[in-house]
Structure 1
Amino acid sequence: MTDSQAPDAPLGTNPVAVAPAGVRNAADVVTPEVIAQLTRGVVGSGRTANHTPFTGEKLADLPESTPEDVATAFDRARAAQPVWAALPVRQRAAVLLRFHDLVLGRQAEVLDLIQLETGKARLHAHEEVQAIAIAARHYGRKAAAYLKPRRHTGVVPVLTKVTELRQPRGVVGQIAPWNYPLELSVGDALPAFVSGNAVVMKPDTETALTALWARDLLIEAGLPAEVFQVVLGEGPVVGPEVVSRADYVSFTGSTRTGREVAVGAASRLVGVSLELGGKNAMLVLKDADVEKAAAGAVRACFASAGQLCISIERLYVHESIADDFVERFATRTKAMRLGSALAYGADMGSLVGERQLEAVTRHVDEAVEKGATLVAGGVARPDIGPLFYEPTILDGVEAPMAVCTEETFGPVVSIYRFRDEDEVIALANATPYGLNSSVWTTDSRRGHRVAARLRTGTVNINEGFAPAYGSVQAPMGGMKDSGLGRRHGSEGILKYTEAQTVAQQRLMPLAPSFGLDDEKYAALMTSSLKAMKAFRLR
């Protein structure tokens, strides 16, 4: 693959990644046969459509769900769920392991869909393939251990036998976002399925084909079709209907909408998990490897054009290395290739919609008008596609500039200088959000010390976000306004279950018996409690 400057591109801007000859286009990928195959799983009596950010052209006509359609989807899922839950855990887990192999074996199909629906560069689309395979493998291997009955010490050892069971909640309502349409849709559904639940999913309409492709593969892997229902439509119409019928709600999206989802779930006394917004900070300490930090900042700030909630938007650099870091970071950023081909080679793709482009443009323009300096980027690139915007670095950002405190959700990062650890930790924590953060240092102890003081659900040392997110045995989620609950690990599957305690009393009741009156029974229990403490029983 070669690089070239687009003929009408502004001078000095990011180069364009030229597509190799013979690269597929939307018409080659989203054929009528593909649309018919994928949409057969959608419960919808109306019609809607989705579009590709690369050109703005329509990709597919899709079924649109009414409130009555949502009710039908829940009825179907609720009828199918008990049969699915009655299967042994290992049989359900085997579906995930087969799905893992199918995804990796047919990844070219979904990479095309992800790119067409989100505008991502292909390597960033592949991050979703990696994440979904990791999650499928993990829960396929570990679900039986997470869900197995657990013995506990009873109130009276030997006489009281206690077992903790994990029962599926029933039908999980899932509302998935557009920015990671494979990983944040089916990736979150996998632990719900393997724990015995059915799922009614509302993916974003503009990225629905990716989620429907994954549903099709899960059915091929052995998941009963009725267990996985999909509804499509406008969020304000379909979303509340999903929340109003689910036995548990899983939501990924904005903090504002997450609050509404939480209120709806709370009014029905059903559980909810929320992964919401972030204004994530990267801390480059004075002993950091500047070159590695600069390269890592490109990944941390501009993957998926910054349209992920764990992306870095605030970059704090120690004043002693700041100039060197900014120069290296800017050089790498200006060299990034922008492109829209369904092929590897571009370093960054497109924004997903007009709303994102407007937000990015507003944040950058306002900051510059109020005195911030453009170090790199700062311009749209309609010469590549209608929603392309260059990766942008701002220096001299201060409150009340919107980019200082509001989530941009685009390829924009602000540089700040600091003098000592206490100062930068306070600055990093001075936000309502608490999703992800990054610390760069050559001193491992210092890195862990700083990490423990940051109020974020995940902290990555010497990387932006991938190590914490990809380590699926550990929980991932947000503090403060960044959400409730966790995905991944034991918390990521147990949240889809109800804990049930079964206690069996043997030989004698927990009451006066064998001729003991109340006073003697109380004395016996008092002596027993003292003895259990002395024997260090828990």
Structure 2
Amino acid sequence: MSASNPENRPLVEGPRDPEHDPAASYALEPEYVASLTNRILATSGETKEVLSPLDGAPLAHIPQSSEADIVEAFARARVAQEKWARTPIERRNALLLRLHDMVLDRQAEILDLIVLESGKARKHAFDEPLHIALTARYYARTAAEHLGTERKIGVIPVLTRVEVNHVPKGVVGIISPWNYPFTMALCDGLAAIAAGNAVVAKPDAQTMLTALLGAELLEQAGFPKDLWQVVAGPGSRVGTSMIQKADYICFTGSTATGKLVAQGCAERLIGCSLELGGKNPMIVLADADIERAAEGAVRAAFSNGGQLCVSIERMYVADAIYDRFVERFVARTQAMTLGATLDWGNDMGPLISEDQVTTAKAHVEDAVAKGARVLAGGRARPDLAPHFFEPTILEGVTPDMTVFANETFGPVVSIYRFSDDADAVARANQGDYGLNAAIYSRDGNRARALARQVKAGTVNINEAFGATFASIDAPMGGMRSSGMGRRQGREGILRYTETQSVATQRLMPLAPVLGMSDQTYAKVMTLSLRALNKLGRA
């Protein structure tokens, strides 16, 4: 139960029957919206309207932050962080576990907001509270292990004691995207605060309400109020200001913008982690379970309408099973339930904006004009929702087509034949991206051997993307133009820390003693090094 929704009432009214009410729409309670938007540090007087992709109706007007607000957000965060860094790790972990339970308890409310703001099918929205609960629990259970002081080998056994500390960087700036508005708004920041940092977050303008609900849950779980600040505004202004003030930046978004973020961080000599674009491949080997691969292919290409950084946009299928696989993949795609509602049961919802539809439409039309064939879908469906585009399978795509190498970030996938494993890997590695890949085979050893040859930060065997994404102990991130740094696992929390080495020298200094000459000292040290080498010391 939420403080902003004390009676646990439905957050929305609708949809009303459009046959009897032409103004049928989903409407959030004004008090609920106000309780969330009040969490933004914003005094500019400006607002930005948010529309729901389900029906195009207004959801909220989001207050916009000024430069003074951003300065204030970082000032508050720094004060909170100094105290938070001294908070025992056991206390931090207890709050993360409390958040874990709250997210599961309030998942219906979370799902409503995700679907209302992003348009995705409810079953795909469920992935988000699930992922946040997993992340909170993982770092609550492992933070002490990751952050604890480590003993290292000293130069002189017994006489030199060396320890390595992991100290928080300070205030982390997190710039998150719209496609997974709850997951991306929180998951990176949970690791940051677990490590003793504060966060200033700038969620995407199209999905602010979901991110603000996440901020509310953090506070209600017991995290200090000023530890997690939220600002709003265009990335060109707010994002740039954050880079100028943060001690570290975590960015998820396009490769083009990621390069600008990296440049800004480099100028200040601060670190950053970037998860960027992808044109992700899937390889279906001749020994694959065709039905399992076809089912996985639907999720791989069309989860969240393909608006997923790790979604599959290229499929390479062995000649021996190509026709049978395509038949099953097309049949499963055509059987998908399309809809724009809050209810369970839809396999795909609308895209978030007309820009996404325009890109998908342009890629398909260009491909068809140059000779590609549409095996399924291929059309916009405004009859279902303002920004709906059918799940689309293309065959016969060639390098001169826009869709061949450019990320669509929509429900469009191209399918190709391959002759042997080497051919499949070579084609999967084409291009500059390297975020995610999938391999289907009944032979796990063979598939894992091929995975080592694929240039991608994550590779899923007999799964689309969920096996790596949901395994929080495993790092996730991109190679090449798909980014730098990793979220999740040990890497995901240590990125927010500075490594500090502390060495204590006992009994004698690392210098001549008792009147020993420099020449004698050099001989003694040389003999010591030879002895340690014979003893197998590192």
TM-score where L is the length of structure 2: 0.95
Q: Give the structure 1 partner of residue 532 of structure 2.
A: 532
Q: Give the structure 2 partner of residue 179 of structure 1.
A: 179
> Are the aligned partners of 1:77 and 1:226 in contact in 2 as well (CA < 8 Å)?
yes
Structure 1 residues 232-311: aligned runs within 5 Å:
232-311=232-311
Pairwise CA RMSD of aligned residues?
1.5
SS for the counterpart of 2:365 is helix
> Are the aligned partners of 2:162 and 2:504 in contact in 1 as well (CA < 8 Å)?
yes
Task: Tell which deviates more after alignment, 232-241 or 30-39.
Answer: 30-39
Deviation at 1:522, TM superposition (A): 0.7
Q: Give the structure 2 partner of residue 3 of structure 1.
A: none
Does the alignment pair 1:38 with 2:36?
Answer: yes
SS for the counterpart of 2:393 is strand
> Are the aligned partners of 1:26 and 1:59 in contact in 2 as well (CA < 8 Å)?
no
Structure 1 runs (4+) greater than 3 angstroms displaced: 19-22, 25-28
Deviation at 1:35, TM superposition (A): 1.5
Question: In the aligned structure 1, how far is the partner of 2:82 from the partner of 2:350?
Answer: 43
Identity %: 52
Q: Give the structure 1 partner of residue 444 of structure 2.
A: 444
> Are the aligned partners of 2:25 and 2:57 in contact in 1 as well (CA < 8 Å)?
no
> Are the aligned partners of 2:93 and 2:139 in contact in 1 as well (CA < 8 Å)?
yes
Question: In the aligned structure 2, how far is the partner of 1:135 from the partner of 1:190?
Answer: 7
> Are the aligned partners of 2:121 and 2:348 in contact in 1 as well (CA < 8 Å)?
yes
Structure 1 residues 137-536: aligned runs within 5 Å:
137-536=137-536
Question: In the aligned structure 2, how far is the partner of 1:306 from the partner of 1:20?
Answer: 29
- Return 5+ residue gaps in structure 2 as ranges: 1-14, 19-23
Question: In the aligned structure 2, how far is the partner of 1:69 from the partner of 1:77?
Answer: 12
Question: In the aligned structure 2, how far is the partner of 1:91 from the partner of 1:50?
Answer: 37
Question: In the aligned structure 1, how far is the partner of 2:153 from the partner of 2:320?
Answer: 57
Task: Tell which deviates more after alignment, 411-420 or 53-62.
Answer: 53-62
Instruction: Show CA shifts across 1:171-226 (max 9, x none).
Output: 00110000001111101100000110000000001101111101101101111110
SS for the counterpart of 1:472 is coil
Deviation at 1:27, TM superposition (A): 4.8
Question: In the aligned structure 2, how far is the partner of 1:68 from the partner of 1:364?
Answer: 45
Q: Give the structure 2 partner of residue 82 of structure 1.
A: 82
Tell me how many residue pairs correspond in the alignment. Answer: 518
Question: In the aligned structure 2, how far is the partner of 1:379 from the partner of 1:430?
Answer: 28
SS for the counterpart of 1:320 is helix
Question: In the aligned structure 2, how far is the partner of 1:245 from the partner of 1:400?
Answer: 43
Deviation at 1:40, TM superposition (A): 2.3
- Return 5+ residue gaps in structure 1 as ranges: 1-18
Question: In the aligned structure 2, how far is the partner of 1:416 from the partner of 1:254?
Answer: 26
Question: In the aligned structure 1, how far is the partner of 2:343 from the partner of 2:250?
Answer: 33
Question: In the aligned structure 1, how far is the partner of 2:462 from the partner of 2:17?
Answer: 38
Q: Give the structure 2 partner of residue 110 of structure 1.
A: 110
**Residues 120 and 189 of structure 1: is their aligned pair in 2 closer, same or farther, counting only changes over 3 Å?**
same
Deviation at 1:363, TM superposition (A): 0.1
Deviation at 1:49, TM superposition (A): 2.3
Does the alignment pair 1:130 with 2:130?
Answer: yes
The one-letter amino acid paired with 1:38 is: L
Q: Give the structure 1 partner of residue 9 of structure 2.
A: none
SS for the counterpart of 1:355 is helix
Instruction: Show CA shifts across 1:432-470 (max 9, x none).
Output: 000000001111111111111101000001111000111
SS for the counterpart of 1:37 is helix
> Are the aligned partners of 2:339 and 2:348 in contact in 1 as well (CA < 8 Å)?
yes
Question: In the aligned structure 2, how far is the partner of 1:314 from the partner of 1:216?
Answer: 39
Question: In the aligned structure 1, how far is the partner of 2:203 from the partner of 2:190?
Answer: 15
Q: Give the structure 2 partner of residue 8 of structure 1.
A: none
Question: In the aligned structure 1, how far is the partner of 2:16 from the partner of 2:333?
Answer: 23
> Are the aligned partners of 2:26 and 2:57 in contact in 1 as well (CA < 8 Å)?
no
Question: In the aligned structure 2, how far is the partner of 1:62 from the partner of 1:380?
Answer: 29
Deviation at 1:26, TM superposition (A): 6.5
Question: In the aligned structure 2, how far is the partner of 1:170 from the partner of 1:346?
Answer: 43
> Are the aligned partners of 2:436 and 2:459 in contact in 1 as well (CA < 8 Å)?
yes
> Are the aligned partners of 1:26 and 1:116 in contact in 2 as well (CA < 8 Å)?
no
The one-letter amino acid paired with 1:489 is: G
Question: In the aligned structure 2, how far is the partner of 1:280 from the partner of 1:96?
Answer: 33
